Amino acid sequence: MIDNLIADFSKHLTQALEIAKATQFKSSDKTFNNVLICGLGGSGIGGTIVSQLVNSSAECPIVVNKNYIIPNFVNENTLVLCCSYSGNTEETLVMYESAKKKGAEIVVISSGGKFIELAKEYNHNYIQIPGDFPPRAAFGLSFPQIIQVLAFYKIIPNNHRSEILKAVDLINKEELAIKTEAKEIARQLVGKTPIIYADATMGGVAIRFRQQLNENGKMLCWHHVIPEMNHNELVGWTEKIDDKVVVLLKTGLDYTRNQKRMEYNKENIISNCTNNIIEINSKGDSLLENFIYHIHLEDWVSFFVADFKKIDAVEVNVIDGLKNFLSTI
């Protein structure tokens, strides 16, 4: 099932644009001083990625919150996006109630559940996307909606549609090569602990990869970003290791000095400790295209890891067990 959903990623992106185009929002005369994006897991990663993607063009600060408690700055001049694929995410519902009490402008992105009921009851703007997928597999449907909402409220320029369509054309054209590369990368990850490094702007993409390996591949791994890791984690590379594999996520648009840092790290420090180093280079003219290319390729990597391990990529019983426990308290 997951492989079919990954294969449909480009279709989901196109479908998301059509859903956004058909959605009618009521206008607001508020001036927004900040944006809070609320969401966790597969529902929340889109906010993390978008916040980094639009950092240089956003008209106000964008903060992503993944906890029950919202920041104190939230008020009537805050735009709050509540992202919950199921519509029933416990933490996001608590954040919603707090934001509503503070008089914030609230927008809901969901497939249904309690959130769509609340949006209708309290006349919030909302975008409803198709349901019945694992949240992480609905990324292509939900991620563009966050961009659409920010554009509608004039937080960012409304120029994303053409870039997403270019990204769709790119991954469709490169699909066979992407799957071939992903399968070979997955082969090298099985039986090892991946360590993912990326330019700081790509931090959200690195997190997405880690989460996909966690959920689809049922494996532990970690990630860090450059330049921050050069001030701490780099010192930890002091001894030979064979059970780890370093994965470098790169684009041609990475900040120049971070490119130099990554190359130095690899050639002068990491390679002294391990020969298990993989570089994943994306394609695309824009940062958005590169992000989408990386996400698609690395989603395939996570599927092939599960395939090589002969495990069910869909199953997340430990998360379901936690949710069942929380429902009793």
What is the C-alpha radius of gyration for the chain, rounded to an integer number of angstroms? 20
- 300: pLDDT strictly greater than 90: yes
pTM of the model: 0.96
Separation CA 160–CA 53 (nearest Å): 11
The answer to whether the CB of 183 falls within 8 A of the CB of 271 is no
Q: What is the pLDDT of residue 318?
A: 85
Which of helix, strand or coil describes residue 37?
strand
Give the chain's mean pLDDT: 96
- Name the segment(s) of the chain with CATH classification 3.40.50.10490: 2-158, 162-309
Q: What is the pLDDT of residues 125-165, one digit of tens each?
A: 999 999 989 999 999 999 999 999 999 999 999 989 999 99
Of 11, 49, 50, nearest in space to 138 by CA: 11
Mean pLDDT of 258-275: 98
Separation CA 175–CA 6 (nearest Å): 11
Q: Which tokens sit at 47?
A: 């906010």
- Which residue's entry shows tokens 């990324």? 139
- 35: pLDDT strictly greater than 80: yes
Mean pLDDT of 187-204: 98
Architecture of domain 162-309: 3-Layer(aba) Sandwich (3.40)
Q: What is the pLDDT of residue 58?
A: 95
- 313: pLDDT strictly greater than 90: no
pLDDT category, 234, cuts 50, 70, 90? very high
- 1: pLDDT strictly greater than 80: no
The answer to whether the CB of 19 falls within 8 A of the CB of 127 is yes
CATH number of 2-158: 3.40.50.10490
Q: What is the pLDDT of residues 269-292, one digit of tens each?
A: 999 999 999 999 999 999 999 999
Mean pLDDT of 200-216: 97
Q: What is the pLDDT of residues 166-175, one digit of tens each?
A: 999 999 999 9
Mean pLDDT of 230-255: 97
Q: What is the pLDDT of residues 89-128, one digit of tens each?
A: 999 999 999 999 999 999 999 999 999 999 999 999 999 9
Using CA atoms, how far residue 70 sits from 67, 105, 119, 248, 278, in Å, is 7, 14, 19, 33, 38
